[in-house]
Amino acid sequence: MVVAGAVLLVLGGAGCAGNGPDPVGGAPVLAPGAPGDPASPASEEQLAAAVEDAGHNDADVEYVLAMITHHEQALEMTELVPDRARDEGVRSLAERIEAAQRPEIELMEGWLETYVDDTELQRHCGGHEGGSHHHGDGGDDCAGHGHSDMPGMATPEQMAALEDASGEEFDALFVELMVTHHEGGISMAEDVLADGNHPQVLGMANDLITDQRVEIGRLESVLDD
């Protein structure tokens, strides 16, 4: 984790910007200078080299595969909102969640395409169940972790209850399940920050923790407004 930590300091928020190590807004990404010299903004070449040198490990791949499946269930939940929710705050939050997580799925799928070859991907797919993730032109199916392996995932029974609910009952159950879902996602992200190595994955995990903590606060307060 020493290499990963050093590279993450260089890259900052690089994980948010598609498949490349392009930093997003805010303060410039700094490259450390020689001892005693001030740090200077990192060039695109330095950022790309840092990502290349860091490499990825099993924890990175496992996290990305699992989080794709985790996000997919969140989208299944938000898709139920338009026909069932009564509270406008719940509707608005569901739209926010969907708008955030669809691009995140695409970003994670892009990371797999860029850094994980078919042989490695299939090694991680053994014994997993859940959503199918296609890799490369070969169209190989790679299923994410089974729901029971991931913190915060709603059970089939809970999803059925959510689908059957409407009005205030739906709103309350949606908030309850989504808070639990987000808490599970944060737990998964914290694990990969401890065990992962690739700076883009670490950046994505760090952003997820920040964003979903904010969303949990909004979810917990929405029905009190």
Q: Structural domains in the chain?
A: 2-53 (no CATH), 55-222 (1.20.1260.10)
Give the other-Cβ count within 10 Å of 225's Cβ.
Answer: 8
- d(C-alpha 172, C-alpha 139), whole Å: 40
Whether residue 31 has pLDDT greater than 70? no
pLDDT on residue 44: 65
Give the pLDDT confidence score for residue 46 in this predicted structure.
Answer: 57
Backbone phi, then psi, for 140, in 5-degree steps?
-65, 135
27 is written with which tokens? 């303060």
CB contact at 8 A, 66 and 149: yes
More confident residue, 217 or 37: 217
| Burial environment of residue 193 by CB neighbours within 10 A (0 to 12, 13 to 18, 19 or more) | buried
The per-residue pLDDT for range 188-217, each reduced to its tens digit, is: 999 999 999 999 999 999 999 999 999 999
For 51-119, the three-class secondary structure string (H helix, E strand, C coil) is HHHHCCCHHHHHHHHHHHHHHHHHHHHHCCHHHHCCCHHHHHHHHHHHHHHHHHHHHHHHHHHHHCCHH
pTM of the model: 0.72
Instruction: Confirm if 10 and 32 have CB atoms less than 8 A apart.
Output: yes
CA 218 to chain centre: 19
Q: What is the rounded average pLDDT for all residues in the chain?
A: 79
Span 152-163, average pLDDT: 97
Give residue 222's pLDDT band: very low, low, confident or very high (50, 70, 90): very high
End-to-end CA distance of the chain: 44
Q: Which tops the pLDDT comparison, 83 or 17?
A: 83
What is the number of alpha carbons within 13 Å of residue 216 lying toward its C-beta?
Answer: 15
Residue 223 — pLDDT band, cuts 50, 70, 90? confident
The whole-number pLDDT of residue 50 equals 55
Query: Average pLDDT for residues 13-40, to the nearest whole number?
Result: 44
For the stretch 112-136, pLDDT in tens is: 999 998 888 888 886 444 444 545 4
